Structures are given as structure tokens and as C-alpha cells.
Amino acid sequence: MGDFSVDVMKKGYFKINPFFIKLARFFWNQHNMIDKKVFIMGSARSGSKIFLNILEKNSNIAITPEMKFWVPWKWEKCVIDLIKDNNFLQNEEDIKSFIEQLWNAEVDTTFWHLIRDRLIKIDKKDIISKIFHSDKSFQSIFKIFIESYREFKGKEISGAQYPLHPYYYNFLINWFPNGKFLHLCREPRANLTSFISKRHFKSIIKEKFKYRMPMKIYEIALLSYGIFNYYFAAKQYKQYKNDNILLCKFEEFIKNPEISIKNLCNFLKIDYKKEMLNPPVEDSSYEINLKKGFDKKTLIRWKERLSPLNEKIIISFTNKPMKIYGYK
């Protein structure tokens, strides 16, 4: 069933004042948005900024930027680590300490940087109060963050971009059984070339390994890390795929953006707009000089950057994920 008020008017059951039509539409849509969330998941460096910009700027969905809520390794601090460090938020002082650390961007990722720099304005006292009066479960805390961002953006539906590592895919699905999940993927050679070229990842590796190493060693470490993430994302997709998970191939959106975006809108049950064909480009893996739209050159750019040795390594270790995603 679509929009209730529109269906009623089209079928001509009765005539009613436009004000009441809008009111009926609002309450019907609110009813259908209970627990409706949208999550961008899958493999990193697969064009998530495309989807973030399409949805953030052209729909009523607020996609929270990467917050690194939960990761499986000790060397990369995440929100869950801070919850544990603060006695699982047993009292108000623990919660205040936890929020202070996040607002100081002790979890090193986009969402917390934007909050620290006051580009995202969310009231600390309000968050502290909401957590204090919650059951303090991981699910409740996560929901408080994405709902607070939704309120900041003035949108109706909340969501998040890569909120946690694919290792914890099942938690997100269980937390939000009515959620919509966009599982992103990309041809592995292009994906991993983008991954090892990203300066941010190189800085992480250098920071964790304080002693000096040849750049080739850094590259091997990054490649290994990227292959693991790619493999695990595909494995989780295969295990948990259902009607609420849409596989979004990077290449299809670049080659046929209009058809792909219309399919995306149909999946999310949102209106298609022509403006979606020209998403702004910001720190993206799919462009160099393009300001808006889709750059088809990105489909072959990896061939200029990837060494023959690394190409062989990637093909050898991503054979199964390629089959899962339908790549040859």
C-alpha cells in the first residue's frame, strides 16, 4: 500500500479539505516509519559518499556519518571501547566522562570530528539525560546517537553510514529488523587500489607501528587489512541477505545512474528526484576533478595504479567474494 491519503483521493471515495489530506498523509507516513532506518554497509571504499549525498541532500533521510561504533580489533578505538572504559555507564558521572571523550573526538572518525568542530551541533546535556534514562544497552545508546543526528538535520528517518564493522552485521539486523540496508560492493581490484591509496589509512598504519618501515611494508599491511575487510563483508552479506538488504554495485551506479537510483528509491520507498543524478563530490573514491555527478573513468583508473604483483594477490584472495557479488 502506498500513501493512504493519495490512494483515497485517486479512488474518489470522498472529497476532503486539503488540510486534512496533509494531516492524514503525515500520520499515515509516521505510522509506517516506526523503526524504519536506513544503513549504508558493506565494503569500505565502494562509493559510500554517492549514497550519503544522494540521500542526505534529496530525501527525508538523515544518514549519520561514520561513527565507528563497534570494531573487532583492540588497536582501533571505538565507541564500545569507551563504554567499557567508563564502567558500562553505570552512573551519571560515567556517562558524562563517556560523552566528554566522544565530544573530544577520542574515537577518530568523521562523526565525532564534526561534533568536536561544532559542525554538527548536538546538545551534550540532552544526550547525557537520554542515556541516563535509557537501559544503557549498546542498542539504546546507538539509537540515541542516530536519532539525535536526525533531529539536528530536521529529517524524518534516521540511519548511518558504516556505523560498525561487518563482523557485527547481525547485531544491526537484529536491532532494526524493519531497517533497510544498502550493502555496497565494488570490483576488488578497484576497491583495494582505492583502499591502499587513501592517505588516511596509511597514517593509521604509520601511527600504530611507531618504528620506521619501508613504504612497501605499509602497503602490504594495508592490502592485507583491506582484503580481510572485503572478504568478511561479502561473507556477512551472503549469510544475512534478505528482502531488506539491497546489494549496490559501485559499477552499476556509475554506468547506469538513473536506473540504479530509481531502483534504490523504489527499495527505500522514497521519491526519485532528478537532482539525485548530480550528487556533490566530497573526498570521494570515485572522482579526481569532478564536482558533481559520476565519473566513468573511475572504473578503469585502478589499472594505472595497481602493480601486477598486487593484482595477483588480490585476485587470489578475493575469488570467493567475487562470486558472492557476481563479479567475474
188 falls within a domain: no
Q: The domain containing residue 28 runs over which residues?
A: 1-32
220 falls within a domain: no
DSSP string, 217-275: HHHHHHHHHHHHHHHHHHHHHHHH--TTEEEEEHHHHHHSHHHHHHHHHHHHT----GG
Q: Provide the residue type at 292 as one letter.
A: K
CA dihedral 99, 103, 109, 115 (to 10 degrees): 130
**Nearest Cα residue to 73 out of 249, 175, 204:** 204
CA distance 233 to 43: 6
24 falls within a domain: yes
19 falls within a domain: yes
Would you state the pLDDT for residue 30? 45
pLDDT tens, residue order, the chain (328 aa):
344 433 433 444 345 555 555 555 444 444 444 468 999 999 888 888 888 888 888 889 999 999 999 999 888 899 999 999 999 999 999 999 999 999 999 999 999 999 999 999 999 999 999 999 999 999 999 999 999 999 999 999 999 999 999 889 999 999 999 999 999 999 999 999 888 776 555 555 555 555 555 666 777 888 888 899 999 999 999 999 999 999 999 999 999 999 999 999 999 999 999 989 888 765 544 344 445 556 777 788 888 888 898 999 999 999 999 999 999 8
230 falls within a domain: no
Would you state the pLDDT for residue 48? 87
Give the H/E segment covering residue 311. Answer: helix 308-317
283 falls within a domain: no
Would you state the pLDDT for residue 288? 45
DSSP string, 94-126: HHHHHHHHHHTT-S-SHHHHHHHTTSS---HHH
Residue 174 and residue 282 in contact, taking contact as beta carbons nearer than 8 Å: no
Residue 270 and residue 60 in contact, taking contact as beta carbons nearer than 8 Å: yes
CA distance 253 to 197: 22
Would you state the pLDDT for residue 206? 56
Instruction: Identify the three-state secondary structure at position 161.
Output: strand
88 falls within a domain: no
Count of domains in the chain?
1
pTM of the shown model: 0.82
Would you state the pLDDT for residue 10? 41
